């Protein structure tokens, strides 16, 4: 049986993390797939860690749980999660409720059909989405365009959370980013290998406001530009 590892970084997501984990557990998986959840608490300062410890101790979830003593960033949490993932396929899932685990079959099918080694779930390929921030969408498209210019890929959504990899793709990478630069770094290193087949599929997106817990801001956009240049132009 093929195993799917869902890597879930969590930072101050007390209000959503239990609901998210239950949605992952209930996600419809294609026949022949088993589920492993790798959850990394990245130094949360609210009640996220207490929730995750309780869920881990319950035995209800097929879950590997790891804690960072301090907040190190999404990239660091993903690197920890990738190291612990034992599956044949690895899928990234944020701990908020912006992305819907019911869409796993769509994300996984190109890999299961042996058409792809890497799949990106695009928020800009006509899937339903909550209407929110104009300038965020502009920023995402600018970052994607700059990344595409450097990688010669034609992605529509480089910054998407939903990225799926055959495990061997990640095993060959030496990732360095600690924070949101992990998105352009992953994309640059997939492109540089020149051997991995990349697909995009449309997904829905249920974005949230800053009052509802959204964390990414303009400084992360500046950091992403530096990461795009760094991981594409420097050795």
* Alpha-carbon torsion angle 95, 230, 141, 96, nearest 10: 0
Range of the domain at 203: 2-233
Q: Return the SS3 of 132.
A: coil
- Measure the CA–CA gap between 118 and 211, rounded to whole angstroms: 33
Flag whether pLDDT at 127 surpasses 70.
Answer: no
Two tokens at 223? Answer: 């950091």
Categorize the per-residue pLDDT at 210 as very low, low, confident or very high, splitting at 50, 70 and 90: very low
Domain count, the chain: 1
Q: What mean pLDDT comes out for the span 166-179?
A: 94
pTM of the model: 0.91
Find the CATH number of the domain harbouring 100.
3.90.550.10
Q: What mean pLDDT comes out for the span 36-51?
A: 98
Q: Do the beta carbons of residue 99 and residue 27 sit within 8 Å?
A: no
């Amino acid at each position: 049986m093929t195993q799917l590892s869902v890597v879930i970084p969590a930072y101050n997501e007390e209000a959503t993390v239990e609901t998210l984990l239950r949605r992952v557990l209930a996600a419809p998986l294609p026949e022949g797939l088993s589920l492993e959840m790798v959850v990394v608490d990245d130094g949360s300062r609210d009640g996220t860690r207490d929730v995750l410890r309780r869920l881990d101790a319950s035995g209800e979830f097929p879950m590997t749980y790891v804690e960072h003593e301090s907040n190190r960033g999404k990239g660091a949490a993903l690197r920890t999660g990738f190291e612990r993932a034992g599956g044949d396929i690895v899928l990234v899932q944020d701990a908020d409720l912006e992305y819907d685990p019911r869409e796993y079959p769509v994300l996984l099918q190109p890999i299961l059909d042996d058409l792809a080694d890497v799949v990106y779930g695009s928020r800009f390929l006509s899937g339903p989405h909550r209407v929110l921030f104009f300038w965020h969408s502009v920023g995402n498209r600018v970052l994607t365009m700059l990344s595409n210019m450097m990688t010669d890929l034609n992605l529509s959504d480089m910054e998407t959370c939903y990225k799926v990899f055959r495990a061997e793709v990640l095993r060959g990478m030496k990732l360095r980013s600690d924070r949101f630069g992990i998105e352009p770094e992953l994309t640059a290193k997939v492109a540089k290998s020149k051997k991995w087949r990349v697909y995009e599929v449309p997904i829905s997106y249920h974005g949230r406001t800053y009052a509802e817990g959204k964390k990414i801001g303009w400084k992360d956009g500046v950091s992403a530009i530096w990461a795009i240049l760094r991981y594409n132009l420097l050795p």
